[in-house]
Amino acid sequence: MSPLRSSDHVIVVGAGLAGWRFSEALRRQGFDGKLTLIGEEHHPPYDRPPLSKNVLVGKWDVGHTLLATDDLIASNDVRLLLGTRATSLDAEATTVTLEDGTVVRGTYVVVATGTRARRLSFGAEDEIHTIRTRDDVERLNESLSALAEGSTVAIIGGGFIGAEAATALRTRGFVPIVLEAATRPLVGVLGEDVSLWLEGLAEDAGIELRSRQHITDVTAHDHGFVVSFDDGENLLVEAVIEGAGAVVNTEWLQGSTLSIDNGVVVSKDLMATERIGAIGDVVRFQWDGPLGTEQVRIEHWQVAVDHAAHLAHFLMTGAAPIAPMIPYFWSDQYGKKIQMLGHPRPSDVAQMVRGSLDDAKWLALYSRDGIVTGVVGLSQPRALMLSKILLDTPTTLEVALSLAPWEA
Ligand SMILES: Cc1cc2nc3c(=O)[nH]c(=O)nc-3n(C[C@H](O)[C@H](O)[C@H](O)COP(=O)(O)OP(=O)(O)OC[C@H]3O[C@@H](n4cnc5c(N)ncnc54)[C@H](O)[C@@H]3O)c2cc1C
């Protein structure tokens, strides 16, 4: 691939974290052609993690989440088209059509349309809150401000967003009840052992968590909502929040000839075709893990940021980035910080190597076929980061245990 030139026009679709960070990275790496960023939301690019944390707790105004200030937009010379949805892509002609029929013509297109909140089908669907966008949280805060302290809020889903929302609500004096369908929250992500080690956190934080909850409907009544379960039980609450996962935003690419399979399928260089790249939550990419190359789609903040830098580097130099990508995420829930490095499977073996359940501080290694595939920690940020070297190159569990980098 020949590097971008001044005559190129790069169109980025999706004005979220990945789209904005990519725009900044492209300018930083010297691109002086035209750069257009198209976003469905009315807000300039902002950061989502604080929405379910500091913003929901009430510590931060939602404006604090802004990534693209007016000054940064001007200094990066980015043409922002906000409040407009891209409806189709012509991959051959590198044109993007917007919902009002406008056709934006470029020489390269970068798809960064992320994911949206998954909605479950209930009677009161329109009144159930989700936490994905700035507008979602503003609506939720407005509803919460009309409720008395001590009001009960049902949270459907005990995953990362559900747990963070419950924590924030408890801090604000509400009574959240987390309703989880699985035997334990996060079991499908972190596996049996790690989810078991995390099981008591909600209770320790004074939050009620009910597992194996099969909700059949949520309906509105005079003073709130009725959550109905398959065993015939009902729960009366004043508000309902849904944290039921995410759906990838690829519908607008139907008919584009791009390969879509649980995300936009790309090469190692994050390219879907010679002139179409894709980054962030929306992309299914080839990741060089410790046990070989895997096709993965990962919804982590750091992965979106790394993708942005990698693709900008590739488009500006024609060369693959040098540093390997090690997925990382964190979550602040029930007063603790969970962090993970790598991309282990839930079926990988987990072994606690530092701390204990009693301390509510521990570090564990995941391994598969005797090779370390991930590191997960509860309130162990330093030990976790020191262990990153175990994922830089494939490392056996035996070597990892003898090196014990977390003890440094
Ligand atoms: C509440 C919340 C808390 C989170 N907390 C954490 C955390 O603690 N740790 C962590 O690692 N990750 C966290 N994440 C995940 C992290 O925020 C995402 O991985 C990251 O935002 C992905 O960036 P992205 O740019 O790929 O997608 P997004 O941020 O979703 O941006 C995509 C943008 O594209 C727009 N778009 C979609 N379709 C179109 C279209 N057709 N035309 C135009 N625009 C379109 C969307 O409106 C959106 O603005 C959290 C996410 C949420 C929602």
Label residue 17 exposed, middle or buried (CB < 10 Å: 0-12, 13-18, 19+).
buried
Amino acid at 243: G
pLDDT tens digits, 100-110: 999 999 999 99
pLDDT band at 324 (very low <50, low <70, confident <90, very high): confident
Residue 301 Cα to ligand 1 middle (Å): 8
Q: What is the pLDDT of residue 320?
A: 79
Q: What is the pLDDT of residue 222?
A: 87
Please report, for residues 39, 92, 250, 278, 401, the alpha-carbon distance to residue 114 in angstroms, rounded to integers and kept in the order given: 11, 22, 8, 10, 38
pLDDT tens digits, 259-286: 999 999 999 999 999 999 999 999 999 9
Residue 40 Cα to ligand 1 middle (Å): 12
Q: What is the pLDDT of residue 2?
A: 82
Contact between 81 and 39 (Cβ < 8 Å): yes
Residue 12 Cα to ligand 1 middle (Å): 14
Q: Is 355 left (phi over 0), alpha (psi -120 to 50) or beta?
A: left
**Tokens describing residue 85:** 């949805």
Q: What is the pLDDT of residue 223?
A: 86
- Indicate whether residue 229 lines ligand 1 (CB < 6 A): no
Residue 20 Cα to ligand 1 middle (Å): 11
Distance CA 120, CA 142 (A): 22
Residue 49 Cα to ligand 1 middle (Å): 9
- Indicate whether residue 341 lines ligand 1 (CB < 6 A): no
**Tokens describing residue 343:** 């991309």
State what percent of residues in the chain have pLDDT above 70.
Answer: 100
pLDDT at position 331 over 80: yes
- Mean pLDDT for all residues in the chain: 96
If you ran DSSP here, which 8-state letter would residue 27 be given?
Answer: H
State what percent of residues in the chain have pLDDT above 90.
Answer: 97
- Indicate whether residue 252 lines ligand 1 (CB < 6 A): yes
The average pLDDT across 89-113 equals 98
- Indicate whether residue 300 lines ligand 1 (CB < 6 A): yes
Which superfamily is assigned to 119-245 in CATH?
FAD/NAD(P)-binding domain (3.50.50.60)
Contact between 252 and 113 (Cβ < 8 Å): yes
Q: What is the pLDDT of residue 201?
A: 95
- Indicate whether residue 15 lines ligand 1 (CB < 6 A): yes
Contact between 304 and 18 (Cβ < 8 Å): yes
Measuring CA to CA, which residue among 164, 131, 209 is closest to residue 57? 164
Please report, for residues 14, 140, 280, 311, 396, the alpha-carbon distance to residue 202 in angstroms, rounded to integers and kept in the order given: 35, 22, 30, 39, 34
Distance CA 210, CA 219 (A): 20
Contact between 188 and 159 (Cβ < 8 Å): no
pLDDT tens digits, 365-379: 999 999 999 999 999
Confirm whether pTM is higher than 0.75: yes
Q: What is the pLDDT of residue 240?
A: 98
Distance CA 239, CA 219 (A): 11
pLDDT tens digits, 117-165: 999 999 999 999 999 999 999 999 999 999 999 999 999 999 999 999 9
- Indicate whether residue 159 lines ligand 1 (CB < 6 A): no
Write the class of the CATH domain 9-114+249-317.
Answer: alpha beta
Q: What is the pLDDT of residue 321?
A: 72
pLDDT at position 322 over 80: no
pLDDT at position 351 over 80: yes
Contact between 351 and 341 (Cβ < 8 Å): no
Residues whose CB falls within 8 Å of the CB of residue 148, separated by 6 or more in sequence, listed in order: none
Phi and psi at residue 250, in whole multiples of 5°? -120, 0
- Indicate whether residue 85 lines ligand 1 (CB < 6 A): yes
Residue 68 Cα to ligand 1 middle (Å): 15
Distance CA 90, CA 113 (A): 16
Contact between 109 and 275 (Cβ < 8 Å): yes
Atom of ligand 1 nearest to the CA of 302: 11
Residue 133 Cα to ligand 1 middle (Å): 8
The average pLDDT across 181-203 equals 96
Same fold, 9-114+249-317 and 119-245: yes
Distance CA 173, CA 128 (A): 20
The average pLDDT across 243-250 equals 97
**Other beta carbons within 10 Å of 408:** 10
pLDDT band at 323 (very low <50, low <70, confident <90, very high): confident
Nearest 10 degrees: Cα torsion 284, 288, 293, 299: -30
Distance CA 175, CA 355 (A): 31
If you ran DSSP here, which 8-state letter would residue 396 be given?
Answer: B
Q: What is the pLDDT of residue 335?
A: 95
Distance CA 54, CA 294 (A): 35
Residue-range domain boundaries for the chain: 9-114+249-317, 119-245, 344-407
Q: What is the pLDDT of residue 1?
A: 73
Q: Which of 131, 270, 281, 302 to mutate to test the pocket of ligand 1 (most atoms within 8 A of CB)?
A: 281
Lookup result for tokens 């977390």: 406
Residue 94 Cα to ligand 1 middle (Å): 24
